[in-house]
């Protein structure tokens, strides 16, 4: 499976964009690209680099001004203030229409559709994503659990390119770990009837009284395993536990 060629971070995208800007002109003849494409890519690159740089600069400007304000407000008597921080104004390059990456996506599609396009060209221009190896056998869910306002457990997890999650529960009622539900979303709320009045939770690992006994809180344990094409795959998650009972939220 191929990963999207465009980097995730803005700083990395600036570097990627500059590579495309510097090299696209090399392939105008091979790929039958008009010269206006080269100038458009260059203008888009310059404006994007400017926008990213200015956004970062404004973050620094804001911090500097807040620090100056705090010194003004709470510094010891006699402190000499530095000059008021003033943002450096840098003139922008030629303004371009919005949607630089929308235009780039269309250009990449055009390039890859050309009869003279090769993977070497794609690699040089940076428009081929890295290969991602997806091995279901290595998948292992990470379950996170909390109680909602009603005291019921809410289990959350990431799907990680799988179809569903088989969830198992041990309510410490002597029945052991049992299948609970197949979850196709990333959140499941266990609405099983809560045990009776809560007091001191049991020692971890010790059996809890049956739900409804009304004497002590109960610990419920959960495990999960991913499902792809109706088959469980990968490794079983680590056990997650939560104490439940009226008054525990």
pLDDT 10s digits, 69-116: 999 999 999 999 999 999 988 999 999 999 999 999 999 999 999 999
Domain boundaries 136-244, corresponding CATH code = 2.60.40.10
Taking residues 151-171, report their average pLDDT.
95
- Give the C-alpha separation, 19 to 21, whole Å: 5
| pLDDT category of residue 198 using cuts at 50, 70 and 90 | very low
Q: Mean pLDDT over all residues of the chain?
A: 90
Reading the block at residue 178, the tokens are 């049992």
Taking residues 185-210, report their average pLDDT.
70
Q: Which residue has the tokens 């539900």?
A: 181
Percentage of the chain with pLDDT > 90?
81
pTM for this prediction = 0.56
Q: So where are the chain's domains?
A: 10-125, 136-244
Reading the block at residue 31, the tokens are 């790929």
Report the DSSP beta bridge partners of residue 219.
243
pLDDT at 199 over 90: no
Residue 143: predicted pLDDT: 98
Taking residues 177-193, report their average pLDDT.
96
Q: What CA–CA distances, in Å, run from 111 to 9, 99, 152?
A: 24, 18, 54
Please count the other Cβ atoms lying within 10 Å of the Cβ belonging to residue 219. Answer: 22
Report the DSSP beta bridge partners of residue 240.
222
């Amino acid at each position: 499976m191929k990963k999207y060629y465009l980097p995730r971070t803005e700083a990395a995208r600036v570097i990627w964009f500059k590579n495309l800007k510097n090299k696209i002109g090399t392939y105008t003849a091979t790929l039958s690209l008009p010269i206006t494409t080269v100038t458009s890519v260059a203008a888009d690159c310059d404006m994007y680099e400017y926008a990213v740089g200015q956004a970062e600069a404004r973050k620094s400007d804001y911090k500097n001004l807040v620090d100056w304000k705090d010194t003004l407000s709470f510094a010891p008597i006699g402190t000499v203030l530095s000059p008021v921080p003033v943002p450096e104004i840098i003139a922008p390059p030629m303004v371009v229409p919005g949607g630089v990456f929308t235009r780039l996506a269309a250009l990449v599609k055009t390039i890859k559709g050309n009869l003279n396009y090769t993977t070497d060209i794609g690699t040089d221009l940076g428009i081929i994503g890295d290969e991602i190896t997806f091995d279901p056998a290595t998948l292992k869910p990470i379950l996170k659990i909390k109680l909602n306002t009603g005291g019921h457990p809410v289990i959350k997890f990431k799907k990680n390119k799988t179809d569903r999650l088989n969830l198992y529960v041990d309510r410490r009622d002597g029945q052991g770990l049992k299948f609970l539900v197949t979850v196709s979303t990333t959140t499941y709320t266990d609405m099983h009837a809560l045990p009776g009045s809560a007091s001191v939770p049991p020692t971890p690992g010790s059996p809890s009284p049956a739900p409804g006994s009304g004497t002590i809180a109960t610990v419920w344990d959960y495990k999960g395993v991913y499902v792809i094409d109706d088959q469980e795959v990968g490794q079983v998650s680590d056990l997650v536990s939560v104490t439940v009972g009226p008054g525990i939220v």
